Chain A
């Protein structure tokens, strides 16, 4: 799948002189514009992107949007419902829920993409040769990855975290390891398809090395499905970071963490539902946003195939 232009490809709007560097820059711009047009064309992707961007905005400007620090405890205000001062109330230690939510968004929006990105890199490194060479290289790589996939995901995370101890780095490691097999499978499947294309044969006929063929000829053409997959996985990563937090395997307290907020709040839900409710809704909305964005992007780019 390639991200296709919605404009008519027949129009060659640029008869300007070739070989000028500015042209390449303008081509890049054109690509970005086409990508934005693609998102604009799909209401699903637009809504998803809007939700995600709201969270990104809140996370970036968190210190400006709230006057409380997420760790600041106020024993006079414990388990209070929303007021003008604390718009989402306070938790059992008197910390501002809204502040914890915003700073929690920072961690999740940092750890999610980073861990999926690491998984993507490893997945590409394993999937490309597996799909390109086939034979025993493929068998070896894929059977090892199958072994990883045989574990229930959450169990795998729990094993890794309990072995390494809870910390942001270890959460990244766990989620990267958990995500690698799926990405490697996807890259392998795409590679097996693309490797039969005639431009790959042409590259072989100019004596290009296997590495060059994999990286220059095959990998760029996997980007469409990989972008969509990446977005989906960031959504799931947010989901799993929340789960790990809830199980007490996420970020060590008192770091603001959505999963942790649910975990700490759920025993006191009858007294004060706000910490649990806001953290849950935050996870849900972020995951839905990312999924909608990915889905819309996929649908729109498939439509003109």
Chain B
């Protein structure tokens, strides 16, 4: 690696003017990125990561400005340059890849035209030449059917392909500095894995200096050489990736790693360590060490002295007063000591709670022609769920995993009755629940509740949170009328909040708190079955851990049966007794948790497992990768639905014959044409 400094930030401080005051969003940030180096900038949301990135390209918006410090790009300061000069740099020598590929591409322009734009603008070459280079660039990012992609519009590409286009576009002018702002956060894990492979490979090939922003330690471990951990506008730890992951010295960095569920640890062996509290607002920073209110190792001195970022060992900078202690004898971090085992589950009953028999959830496609409107054409359906059978025993937890669009949420909605089923039978405690919600009786409705995904829409903004829980209590007459307030109070305490939350409005709460209220509301009716639809995927990692611990506690203490819908295999392993892997409306593999995470694997499960980003930079990239997108559920592929993307496809049989679920011992079933032996040898 050549030692050519591309970007150097010196004591950078960025502020935003608001109506009332000037807010210091970023303070005293210094780091350098060399040619060929990838610096990962990690931290929870609201820590100022994106602000740093935007300051480099001067995109801070009308009210943001660099208050102090220098941004030095290739030896020359970037601030105070005229806009014209900056415009010449952006897109040519400094490029950026954004989080939302769909909104970063212009939906009205063909891919070739929007990509050629930056070439024509910066290098003044002809359109024809530009198209040639665009094609080259698309091939470099392994775009399937690069020629065809040229003339398509963004909406005709999948999310992963769009992100590839953006990366290709960013690399077009061979920039010296590439800024990537959470480029894979909006993508499915399988797609994310492929894009990360690509980023790592291009990194090697082009030697571009990269600033990689992410909240996910696992992702950073895959691509970055150096890691800077940001907390509330300051860098708290900066070092090379290996040191950070094996020997973190700042409690915040340790916290970020301890709160991740580990895909390699079976259920019940670990308890997650959430970081308590939340990132302070930039205008309400605590005295002393800014992390001290949330730090479990804080001592009296921490609350008074603001530590400086100091080099503790070669190239390892930490902003912590007690860092020397961690370095010396009193090691508080080791890879194995991530968490303590949680309590073993109580004995399980064998009583069947819920059984689904070949249920189908079809969504009709609106007719596009007049003939169709008059019923002269055959109705077409999106086959979101296409014949699924499964059973859940009382007290067990079933995890349902798959990429987005595989129908896992539709199953959940069908069970609770939010979606009518097309055909099939559902049986709940001996009752037939094949009818949708408005035809079920209130006693049945009460037994099944749901925890939702999006904390911002889970609570009605018009009512205080206590009232919203009380609505449920009143409706189901769970407790006597005069007991309602006491019961709400009890529920708030059960989700680790306190009674003072009763009169808070939803907008006064953080995402994690809203999700807790959502859980309190769901358990208010004391349901027999609780369905959690991606309960933590919209939350920060540190908060995720707390919510998962809470759900696990409810599960153990109340013996509630749960269904967890998730795209994240680590979460599912942490949480579930049984796992069902879904692809395109079908179950590919089902069984108890341990058999799923061990060979024999279904090729799809193996690909999902291989895609999970692990916070360990020593792990080599694995080989089972999926490309392309999930095919349309209107006309699913014939035979095995996975054959279009399967890396282990045998041949014709996969295209013509649909594999049935077959038993591989115990209650482990796999739907695949591969032999047992072959499946035993798949390494994810």
**Contact residues of A with B, CB < 8 Å?**
2, 4-6, 8-10, 12, 14-15, 18-19, 23-24, 27, 41, 197-199, 201-208, 216-217, 220-221, 223
Q: Is B476 an interface residue (CB 8 A)?
A: yes
Given contacts A18-B499, A198-B452, 5 further A-B contacts (CB under 8 A): A198-B458, A204-B437, A206-B475, A221-B460, A221-B461
CB proximity to A under 8 Å, residues B434-452: 437, 440, 442, 445-446, 448-450, 452
CB proximity to A under 8 Å, residues B459-482: 459-464, 466, 468, 471-472, 475-476
Cβ-neighbour of B503 out of A14, A201, A205, A208 (below 8 A):
A14
Q: A12-B504, A41-B19 are in contact. Are A201 and B472 (CB under 8 A)?
A: no
User: Residues of A contacting B518 with CB < 8 Å?
Assistant: 198, 202
Complex Cα–Cα for A41 and B18 (A): 12
- A103 → B minimal CB distance (Å): 40
Q: A8-B281, A10-B281, A198-B457 are in contact. Are A206 and B472 (CB under 8 A)?
A: yes
Complex Cα–Cα for A267 and B404 (A): 72
User: Residues of B contacting A201 with CB < 8 Å?
Assistant: 418, 450, 452
Cβ-neighbour of B418 out of A8, A204, A206 (below 8 A):
A204
Q: A201-B452, A221-B462 are in contact. Are A10 and B437 (CB under 8 A)?
A: no
A19→B485 contact, CB < 8 A: yes
B457→A18 contact, CB < 8 A: no
Complex Cα–Cα for A148 and B608 (A): 56
User: Residues of B contacting A10 with CB < 8 Å?
Assistant: 281, 284, 508
Q: Is B453 an interface residue (CB 8 A)?
A: yes
Please name the residue on chain B nearest to A202 by beta carbon: B521
A202→B418 contact, CB < 8 A: no
User: Residues of A contacting B416 with CB < 8 Å?
Assistant: 205
User: Residues of B contacting A204 with CB < 8 Å?
Assistant: 418, 437
Cβ-neighbour of A2 out of B446, B461, B466, B503 (below 8 A):
B461
A207→B418 contact, CB < 8 A: no
A205→B418 contact, CB < 8 A: yes
Q: Is B675 an interface residue (CB 8 A)?
A: no
User: Residues of B contacting A197 with CB < 8 Å?
Assistant: 457
User: Residues of B contacting A23 with CB < 8 Å?
Assistant: 503
Q: Is B500 an interface residue (CB 8 A)?
A: yes
User: Residues of B contacting A208 with CB < 8 Å?
Assistant: 471, 475
Interface centre among A4, A201, A216, by most chain B C-beta atoms within 10 angstroms, is A201
Cβ-neighbour of A206 out of B284, B459, B466, B525 (below 8 A):
B525
A4→B462 contact, CB < 8 A: no
Q: Is B454 an interface residue (CB 8 A)?
A: yes
Q: A206-B471, A220-B462 are in contact. Are A9 and B507 (CB under 8 A)?
A: yes
What are 18 inter-chain pairs, A to B, with CB distance below 8 A? A4-B507, A8-B283, A12-B500, A14-B503, A18-B466, A19-B499, A27-B464, A197-B457, A203-B471, A204-B437, A206-B445, A206-B471, A206-B472, A207-B446, A208-B471, A221-B460, A221-B462, A223-B462
Q: Is B54 an interface residue (CB 8 A)?
A: no
Complex Cα–Cα for A100 and B144 (A): 78
B418→A2 contact, CB < 8 A: no
B437→A199 contact, CB < 8 A: no
- B562 → A minimal CB distance (Å): 15
Please name the residue on chain B nearest to A196 by beta carbon: B457
Complex Cα–Cα for A31 and B508 (A): 13
CB proximity to A under 8 Å, residues B514-568: 518, 521-522, 525
Q: Is B502 an interface residue (CB 8 A)?
A: yes
A207→B445 contact, CB < 8 A: yes
User: Residues of A contacting B463 with CB < 8 Å?
Assistant: 220
Cβ-neighbour of A202 out of B19, B442, B452 (below 8 A):
B452
User: Residues of A contacting B476 with CB < 8 Å?
Assistant: 206
B452→A207 contact, CB < 8 A: no
B502→A18 contact, CB < 8 A: yes
Complex Cα–Cα for A12 and B450 (A): 29
User: Residues of A contacting B454 with CB < 8 Å?
Assistant: 198
Interface centre among A14, A24, A199, by most chain B C-beta atoms within 10 angstroms, is A199
- A114 → B minimal CB distance (Å): 26
B453→A15 contact, CB < 8 A: no
Q: A2-B507, A18-B502 are in contact. Are A205 and B458 (CB under 8 A)?
A: no
Q: A199-B459, A206-B525 are in contact. Are A18 and B503 (CB under 8 A)?
A: yes
Please name the residue on chain A nearest to B445 by beta carbon: A207
User: Residues of B contacting A220 with CB < 8 Å?
Assistant: 460, 462-463
Please name the residue on chain B nearest to A20 by beta carbon: B503
User: Residues of A contacting B489 with CB < 8 Å?
Assistant: 18-19
User: Residues of A contacting B437 with CB < 8 Å?
Assistant: 204-205, 207
Q: A27-B503, A199-B458 are in contact. Are A205 and B449 (CB under 8 A)?
A: yes
Q: A202-B521, A206-B476 are in contact. Are A15 and B458 (CB under 8 A)?
A: no
- A189 → B minimal CB distance (Å): 17
B508→A207 contact, CB < 8 A: no
Complex Cα–Cα for A178 and B475 (A): 40
**The 4 A-B residue pairs with the shortest CB-CB distance in the complex, in nearest-first order:** A220-B462, A198-B452, A197-B457, A199-B460
A19→B502 contact, CB < 8 A: yes
Complex Cα–Cα for A12 and B497 (A): 14
User: Residues of A contacting B449 with CB < 8 Å?
Assistant: 205
- B524 → A minimal CB distance (Å): 9
User: Residues of B contacting A24 with CB < 8 Å?
Assistant: 503
Please name the residue on chain B nearest to A4 by beta carbon: B507
User: Residues of B contacting A216 with CB < 8 Å?
Assistant: 471
User: Residues of B contacting A15 with CB < 8 Å?
Assistant: 500
- A204 → B minimal CB distance (Å): 6
User: Residues of B contacting A198 with CB < 8 Å?
Assistant: 452-454, 457-458, 518
- A300 → B minimal CB distance (Å): 10
Q: A198-B454, A201-B418 are in contact. Are A207 and B461 (CB under 8 A)?
A: no
Interface centre among A15, A201, A206, A217, by most chain B C-beta atoms within 10 angstroms, is A206
- A22 → B minimal CB distance (Å): 11
Complex Cα–Cα for A5 and B505 (A): 11
- B275 → A minimal CB distance (Å): 17
User: Residues of B contacting A14 with CB < 8 Å?
Assistant: 500, 503
Please name the residue on chain B nearest to A207 by beta carbon: B445
Please name the residue on chain B nearest to A303 by beta carbon: B19
Complex Cα–Cα for A303 and B445 (A): 40
Cβ-neighbour of B508 out of A12, A18, A221 (below 8 A):
A12
- B498 → A minimal CB distance (Å): 9
- B493 → A minimal CB distance (Å): 12
- B149 → A minimal CB distance (Å): 32
- B290 → A minimal CB distance (Å): 15
- B447 → A minimal CB distance (Å): 11
- A24 → B minimal CB distance (Å): 7
B464→A207 contact, CB < 8 A: no
Complex Cα–Cα for A205 and B521 (A): 11
- B501 → A minimal CB distance (Å): 8
User: Residues of A contacting B457 with CB < 8 Å?
Assistant: 197-199
Please name the residue on chain B nearest to A199 by beta carbon: B460
Complex Cα–Cα for A9 and B283 (A): 13
Cβ-neighbour of B460 out of A9, A27, A207, A217 (below 8 A):
A217
Complex Cα–Cα for A6 and B507 (A): 12
Complex Cα–Cα for A201 and B458 (A): 9
A9→B508 contact, CB < 8 A: yes
User: Residues of B contacting A223 with CB < 8 Å?
Assistant: 462
User: Residues of A contacting B507 with CB < 8 Å?
Assistant: 2, 4-5, 9
Complex Cα–Cα for A223 and B472 (A): 24
User: Residues of A contacting B504 with CB < 8 Å?
Assistant: 12
- A43 → B minimal CB distance (Å): 12
Complex Cα–Cα for A198 and B455 (A): 9
Complex Cα–Cα for A18 and B499 (A): 7
User: Residues of A contacting B525 with CB < 8 Å?
Assistant: 206
Complex Cα–Cα for A279 and B214 (A): 63
Interface centre among A14, A204, A208, A217, by most chain B C-beta atoms within 10 angstroms, is A204
Complex Cα–Cα for A39 and B508 (A): 21
Please name the residue on chain B nearest to A198 by beta carbon: B452
A207→B521 contact, CB < 8 A: no
User: Residues of A contacting B284 with CB < 8 Å?
Assistant: 8, 10
Interface centre among A8, A204, A207, A221, by most chain B C-beta atoms within 10 angstroms, is A207
Complex Cα–Cα for A251 and B537 (A): 62
